[in-house]
Chains A and B, each alone.
Chain A
């Protein structure tokens, strides 16, 4: 479970987060939806403790991210905003490296890596160096390294960007499977359809603040709009920065 309480963060004269509070529950997919520059990435970085908020706190399974970042990071899998791969390592070595950083060793590590490779259906590319991988293959490696330690919470920053249909499907199937296992999934996006199709709950944020929270159906009902898209536009009050 991921909870943020009144997160605020300012860079010089730009206020990236202005008292952001929301909650992402176990067994649910929570979408963080907002136009570009709404503070989505800053929010996620505060959750994994790379950015220290000026005010407020981010908690994962009731552990404060700025007080014990290492404990928090053990409980989350991260699919970051920018994921670069170690191009001279094979996909298997790559995933095994991060399994090692999570404290897995020996046979346990081997088994965990093989499990992920099977889950993501990437046996064909597992022993090739990642240097020449396509965008979809790179995404699989990035997903693999994020979930190899079987985290209770998974955080994805704009995961579907630049993916083709097949890769998007693999991603969706994985997220649904993890949700079925009772894990907490939080992902940010500015792509409407993706959020509507995937999420149990949506947190809409604009300019560092939450403007609405609820299931897509609830949000439609609240605004009196038929489509989620119209609801979103009405909620954020502008058409700027939305990808349809």
Chain B
């Protein structure tokens, strides 16, 4: 019976490889995720790393030339015609010098719409520059009076970050891994639809089912063909991620990203049962549809579930022991652990793979039963 499996698988693969639509879909999802994330990271890094000049309105600059120079050192300037000032107003009072000389408080106003988020970082830069200037004056005054500046800062905070570079990477790059899982779910979709709802649409399903082939071999071969494409998409994105991230200066964020060949191989092995699960799930849905389009509608609804689950786990950092063994989430955890440089609990990985395989086998049985039903096959 094995030879029937190979015959159907080969035929479905030939068919799918000649279908530009399936090929493009498989490739595009695999490319799309990593490249999009890389571009996003590049933007974030550029924003976070480069101190840009800030132009604000400074009223009364003539009363405090030293302060204005100090701000200038911190790349905060008064706006002019060339560089329009932001809606941040710095007002230096007329009595600035006088109050400073007589050790009275000087009130400098920072006026701005504080609900305006886009100016937030600039406001805090202006404020922190002013605080810094304040501290400079304080230390000057104390030094003149022969008092150590230590007196006024009894407690100092010494930040020691124990996060490894990999752990920090896991936090940020977890999102990239979500795209690997999505590639698995989307790359084989067209092949699955073509082998099920497509057969029905082109009226070839009846003849196929009337062949002397046990239905479960037919179902498994079709799932295997779609699964091959799904896995191909996943593998492509896994191989692409390290390549793409060579061009992203992650070290500027204090992140170290590395993925060895061995890591990649491990991930690919973990993805195999997931690809089978995704494909049989898609066959289950699209064998119920009467046409290609109808199947696409159903599938995009159903595919939303695993994607939503992954994103929910990713962003809420929800933790539960069951997540390590359920399909989709167990694979997600392995991916996170790998890029986090954590010890991988292979027992859990095997457990997750086992549960995924069992669920897949159950779905094979359900789809087989469906295809033996006259109601489903002929739509009676």
Contact = CB atoms under 8 A, between A and B. Distances in A.
The answer to whether A and B belong to the same complex is yes
Contacts of A85: 202, 204
A87 B202 contact: yes
A34 B218 CA distance: 34
A97 B19 contact: no
B3 A103 contact: yes
B211 A50 contact: no
A133 interface: no
B374 interface: yes
A67 interface: no
A83 B204 contact: yes
Interface in B354-380: 374, 377-378, 380
B19 A48 contact: no
B209 A50 contact: yes
Contact of B210 (A11, A48, A105): A48
Contact of B19 (A52, A78, A88): A88
A70 interface: yes
Contact of B207 (A74, A83, A87): A83
B265 to A, nearest CB: 33
Interface residues of A, number: 31
Interface stretch (B4-12, B63-71, B248-256): B4-12
Contacts of B210: 48-50, 73, 78, 80
Most B-side CB within 10 Å, residue of A50, A87, A102? A50
A71 B214 CA distance: 11
A93 interface: yes
B18 interface: yes
Nearest to A48: B210
Interface in A52-80: 52, 70-71, 73-74, 78, 80
B67 to A, nearest CB: 75
A84 B204 CA distance: 4
A84 B212 contact: no
Interface residues of chain B: helix, strand, loop or mixed (majority): helix
Given A51-B374, A100-B4, A102-B212, A84 B203 contact: yes
B207 A78 contact: yes
Contact of B206 (A73, A74, A82, A145): A82
B203 A83 contact: yes
A50 B374 contact: yes
Contacts of A105: 3
A86 interface: yes
A74 B15 contact: no
B18 A88 contact: yes
B312 to A, nearest CB: 39
A81 interface: yes
A73 B211 contact: yes
B14 interface: yes
12 contacts: A50-B374, A71-B212, A80-B206, A80-B207, A83-B207, A84-B205, A86-B11, A97-B7, A100-B11, A101-B213, A102-B212, A105-B3
